[in-house]
């Protein structure tokens, strides 16, 4: 495994990290604690030290609780990134991004993760009006001073250049963006500015939610959370584009390894966080931390 600098935070993150939305139960599989423990045990062996999660991945901080139990014995070995604010399921709507609610979420995340600090605490897909809130960032600064949070981050979409431009005003040192061989807009719209500001960059969905895994054929109908996020016409279009791209990969390389390695060719990317459902998937993804395309 190779390690990269997470921008101005100076954290040394594994080039391949671990995405954990899959533990929430909405990806067509429910995880037992022993399965998550196995994934983390193998991740340790493979040199992975970075994970991404969120308070809203599953009811009552489910993914965070599974992770907290899996890393309780060696918490300090891990760099834990979690997120706050975006939880359509909890009925709090706009309030969810306010300082009072976010502080409650932070305390709950710390409890779920069985830790007294979070390495990277990210605003989760917030509209501009909730991002531009001095009271929120002032409260978060206090949590940094108190040692509950080490660094602040912002998880955004490529079109959110306005938020990116204000990162330094609000003490944000890390951004998380969708970036993969099928969705490249972040490289053009965000990476140059992120480089200027020396922000760490977490590339999410490196496999385009599985469409670059080589497992799916034209006409495949997803019955999990992907049915909500990718329209059927887009599934077909993206699978056709993926097949075209995968034709050029080295023959001996698994599509998933190639897809992660493709993202890591971009020096602005500090780490990719493929979401995994099994030890076998984890292993194929981790290989990307050692190959050069």
Ligand X SMILES: NC(=O)c1ccc[n+]([C@@H]2O[C@H](COP(=O)([O-])OP(=O)(O)OC[C@H]3O[C@@H](n4cnc5c(N)ncnc54)[C@H](OP(=O)(O)O)[C@@H]3O)[C@@H](O)[C@H]2O)c1
Binding test (CB under 6 A) with ligand X, winner from 68, 200, 210, 289: 210
24 binds ligand X (CB under 6 A): no
76-96 burial string, b = 16+ CB within 10 Å, else e?
eebbbbbbbbbbeeeeeeeeb
Give the interface size with ligand X as a residue count (CB under 6 A): 29
Is the Cβ of residue 96 or residue 155 nearer to ligand X in the bound state? Answer: 155
284 binds ligand X (CB under 6 A): yes
Is the Cβ of residue 106 or residue 209 nearer to ligand X in the bound state? Answer: 209
209 binds ligand X (CB under 6 A): yes
For strands 149-155 and 200-204, give the pairing.
unpaired
Q: At what angle do helices 62-71 and 33-45 cross, to 10 degrees?
A: 50
Residue 254 CB, nearest approach to ligand X (Å): 7
Strands (E), 75-208: 79-84, 118-124, 149-155, 172-178, 200-204
Cα torsion 180, 183, 185, 188 to 10°: value is 40
Question: How far from 90 is each of 85, 108, 225, CA to CA, in Å?
Answer: 10, 14, 18
22 binds ligand X (CB under 6 A): yes
Each residue 25-44 as x (binds ligand X by CB under 6 A) or -, in order, gives --x-----------------
Looking at residues 220 to 259 of the shown chain, list those that interact with ligand X (rule: CB under 6 A). Answer: 256
Quote the tokens at residue 80: 């834990």
Looking at residues 83 to 142 of the shown chain, list those that interact with ligand X (rule: CB under 6 A). Answer: 83, 124-125
For the beta sheet containing 79-84, the strands, ordered from the edge strand earlier in sequence to the opposite edge, are 18-19, 50-52, 79-84, 118-124, 149-155, 172-178, 200-204, 271-272
> What distance in Å separates the CA atoms of residue 285 and residue 151, rounded to the nearest whole number?
26
205 binds ligand X (CB under 6 A): yes
Each residue 139-178 as x (binds ligand X by CB under 6 A) or -, in order, gives ----------------x--------------------x--
Each residue 43-62 as x (binds ligand X by CB under 6 A) or -, in order, gives ---------x----------
Is the Cβ of residue 173 or residue 210 nearer to ligand X in the bound state? Answer: 210
> What distance in Å separates the CA atoms of residue 161 and residue 163, rounded to the nearest whole number?
5
> What distance in Å separates the CA atoms of residue 202 and residue 4, rounded to the nearest whole number?
11
Indicate the SS3 state at residue 94: helix
Residue 3 CB, nearest approach to ligand X (Å): 19
Indicate the SS3 state at residue 4: strand
Is the Cβ of residue 80 or residue 110 nearer to ligand X in the bound state? Answer: 80
Residue 226 CB, nearest approach to ligand X (Å): 8
274 binds ligand X (CB under 6 A): yes
Distance linking the first and last C-alpha atoms of the chain = 15
Choose one: 67-75, 90-98, 160-168, 200-208; the region binding ligand X (CB under 6 A): 200-208
Residue 109 CB, nearest approach to ligand X (Å): 14
Residue 138 CB, nearest approach to ligand X (Å): 23
153 C-beta neighbours (distance < 10 Å), count = 28
Residue 125 CB, nearest approach to ligand X (Å): 4
**Chain residues in the site for ligand X (CB under 6 A):** 19-22, 27, 52, 83, 124-125, 155, 176, 204-210, 213, 215, 256, 273-277, 281, 284-285
């Amino acid at each position: 495994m190779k390690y990269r600098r997470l921008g101005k935070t100076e954290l040394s993150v594994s080039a391949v990290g671990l995405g954990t939305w899959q533990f929430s139960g909405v990806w067509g599989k429910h995880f037992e604690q022993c399965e998550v423990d196995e994934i983390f045990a193998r991740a340790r062996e493979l040199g992975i030290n970075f994970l991404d999660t969120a308070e809203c991945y599953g009811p009552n901080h489910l993914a965070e609780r599974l992770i907290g139990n899996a890393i309780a014995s060696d918490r300090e070995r891990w760099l834990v990134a979690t997120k706050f604010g975006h939880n359509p399921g909890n009925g709090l709507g706009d309030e969810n991004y306010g300082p009072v609610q976010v502080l409650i979420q932070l305390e709950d995340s710390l409890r779920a993760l069985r830790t007294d600090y979070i390495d990277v605490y990210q605003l989760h897909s917030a509209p501009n009006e909730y991002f531009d809130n001095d009271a929120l960032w002032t409260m978060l600064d206090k949590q940094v001073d108190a040692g509950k949070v080490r660094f602040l981050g912002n998880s955004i979409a490529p079109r959110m250049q306005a938020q990116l431009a204000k990162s330094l005003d609000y003490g944000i040192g890390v951004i998380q963006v969708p970036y993969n061989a099928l969705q490249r807009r972040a490289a053009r719209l965000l990476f140059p500015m992120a480089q200027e500001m020396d922000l760490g960059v977490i590339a999410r969905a490196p496999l385009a939610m599985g469409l670059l895994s080589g497992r799916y054929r034209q006409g495949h109908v997803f019955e999990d959370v992907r049915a909500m996020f990718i329209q059927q016409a887009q599934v077909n279009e993206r699978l056709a584009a993926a097949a075209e791209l995968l034709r050029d990969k080295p023959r001996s390389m698994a599509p998933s390894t190639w897809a992660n390695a493709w993202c890591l060719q971009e020096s602005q990317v500090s780490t990719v966080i493929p979401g995994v459902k099994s030890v076998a998937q984890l292993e194929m993804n981790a290989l990307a931390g050692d190959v050069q395309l």
